[in-house]
Structure formats: C-alpha cells, structure tokens
Amino acid sequence: MLSRVSIRSGLRLSSQANKLGSRNLMVYHRLHNVSSDGNLQGLNEAKDEVTKRKPLSRIAIGGTASQSQKASGGGSGSIEFATWKATALVLTLGGTLYYFFAKEKRRLEIEKEAEANRGYGKPLVGGPFKLVDFNGDEFTEQNLLGKFSIIYFGFSHCPDICPDELDKLSVWLDGLKKKGIEIQPIFITCDPARDPPHVLKEYLSEFHPDMIGLTGDYEAVKQACKKYRVYFSTPPSLKPGQDYLVDHSIFFYLMDPEGQFIDALGRQYDEQTGVAKIQEHVNAYAPKEQREKRKEKWYSFLFN
C-alpha cells in the first residue's frame, strides 16, 4: 500500500489516505498543514476537494462513517473477524479429526483382536466339520462362507443356562437386524443321542426363527466340538431312556464371512453389550484380500 502512495500523484493522495485505514489520521494531519502553506498546488486542489465536502475539523477521528466502514473491512477489525472464523474452523476440524481418529483407533483394536483370534496357518478355533441340519440336509464349514455366523453349543434337555443364552441370542439377533446386520445363528448339539434333527427342530422353534440346529452321529459331533475347543461330557454308562445332563462350555463363537473364528462371547455380555460388541466386529471386518494387500503398503506398521 505505502509503495503505491509514492508513485501516485498528490491529487489522489486524499483518496489514497482513505484506503490506508489506520494510517489515515496522520495523513490527514499532514494534508491539512501542507495545504494551508499553499506550497504544493496539487495538494491544494486535493484539500479543496475535501473541504468542499466537509471541513476537516468535522471529520471524525478515524474518518467518516463510510471511511470507517471501509477501514473495518480491511483494517484492524479484520483480525477479530478472522479470529472467530479461524477458531470455529480449528474447533470443527480438530473435533472431527479427534472423532475419526478415536473411532479408527477402536476399529483397529477390534480388527487386531479378530486377527489375533484368526491365527496363522491352522485355525485356533474352528475348521472343517460335517454335520446334519434339523431339516436333514448336510451342513459343513462351507455353509459359513459369505456371512457372519454365531455358533452356540448346547443340548435340548439343558436345564437353565442354554435356554437363557438362546433367549439372549434372540435379543442380539433382533437388535443387530435393526442395525441392518444379518447374522446366521447356529446351534450345535452336544447330545446327539437325544437330539436328532426333529427334536432340534421342535426345540429351536421356540427360539429365534433364523436359528439353525445341527446334529450328527456321536463321532461327527465330537469332532466338531473338538474343533471349536468345546469340551462336553456325557455320563459314561447310559441306559436307553435315562435322564442325564451334559456338561459343556458356554460361549458364542463369532465367525467372519470367511468361516474364520474372530471372537468368543461369554456370559459377561448382556443383551446390550453383546450387540455392541458384534456390531464393532462386523464394522471392523476387512476381507482377507484387503488385509493381505495392506500388509505390503508402506503404512502397514499401523496394522501390526
């Protein structure tokens, strides 16, 4: 601005002074002195221009109303204007970034947990099995592909824990459905002797309609349970028709769409926290292809 003043003529000095904003008081003062001396013709003319409109003494400090308006547009006032705008911008940006980083951090934690549970090479939990569903159709680990599944082991003559847990699972399934998450619920019996397909069908009909019941011969069920690290015991000497209980471990096994185990949910999860945990896993899930690809990227350390 100042350098521009020097190359312009004295005639336009007064208008330059207006634009100078904060400096205009000083310039006017000089203008007044110079013009009363009458030494500089050009500045005299400028003075006439100003005095014709208003005597200088009546011009308010800081310029006229229109001048001060201009000044506030580009002068000292602009700092205030920029400050609140910048503050708002920093707050919004900072808040948004914090939110996304916190969210992403949690997502990565969950993903790491899932990856640790998937294990390397031979799966720690899960693997091939061959059972029969309650309609008499074959059901293998292939049926787990393409969707998230929850697997629960139990038996129909279970006194209190299994029905409670299955009711809880029903609440989870409905809760997840409301959030747009479809899970395939699977019930595998640990008591094939008393739970043939038609019994399972009858038993599960009183629980969630999506539930699939699996059974098989004793060896097949034993193998499937072993794969899922489920230990169950039936009393050694059984007479036909005898009443007995089966001890078994009680976990919900969450399987990803590749049929791999990602988490075990125990009794500590209630009707709400279970939904939240499963939802976190579903949201954090990245297909195997994507996971492998990411390992080769420069930012792969983020996922280790």
Partner 1 sequence: MGWFSKTKPMDDQSKPPSRSSRKQCWESRDGYFQCLDKISVVNALEPKHQSEIQKNCKGEEAKFEQDCATSWIKYFKEKRVVDYKREKFMQEMESKNAQQIDLSGMVRR
Interaction site with partner 1 (CB under 8 A): 109, 112-113, 116-117, 156-157, 159-160, 163, 194-195, 199-200, 202-203, 206, 241-245, 266, 268-269
To partner 1, the closest distance from the beta carbon of 169 in angstroms equals: 15
Closer residue to partner 1, CB minimum distance, 71 or 200: 200
To partner 1, the closest distance from the beta carbon of 109 in angstroms equals: 7
d(CA 148, CA 252): 12
Buried b or exposed e, range 222-247, using 16+ CB within 10 angstroms: ebbbebbebebebeeeeeeeeeeebe
Residues 6 or more apart from 18 whose CB is under 8 A from it?
A: 24, 63, 67, 70
Closer residue to partner 1, CB minimum distance, 89 or 245: 245
Closer residue to partner 1, CB minimum distance, 28 or 253: 253
158 annotated to a ligand binding site? yes
Closer residue to partner 1, CB minimum distance, 90 or 245: 245
Closer residue to partner 1, CB minimum distance, 38 or 235: 235
The 3-state DSSP class for residue 265 equals strand
Closer residue to partner 1, CB minimum distance, 34 or 214: 214
To partner 1, the closest distance from the beta carbon of 117 in angstroms equals: 7
DSSP 60: P
225 annotated to a ligand binding site? no
Sign of CA dihedral 131, 218, 153, 224: negative
To partner 1, the closest distance from the beta carbon of 167 in angstroms equals: 9
Q: Among 144, 158, 119, which residue's Cα sits nearest to residue 249?
A: 158
248 annotated to a ligand binding site? yes
Residue 229 backbone class (left: φ over 0; alpha: ψ -120 to 50; beta: rest): left
To partner 1, the closest distance from the beta carbon of 290 in angstroms equals: 21
d(CA 251, CA 154): 10
d(CA 221, CA 214): 9
Q: Which helix (H) or strand (E) holds 255?
A: strand 252-255
To partner 1, the closest distance from the beta carbon of 239 in angstroms equals: 10
Per the CB < 8 A criterion, the answer to whether 75 and 21 are in contact is: yes
What length does the chain have? 304
Annotated binding site: 158, 162, 248
Annotated binding site for Cu cation: 158, 162, 248
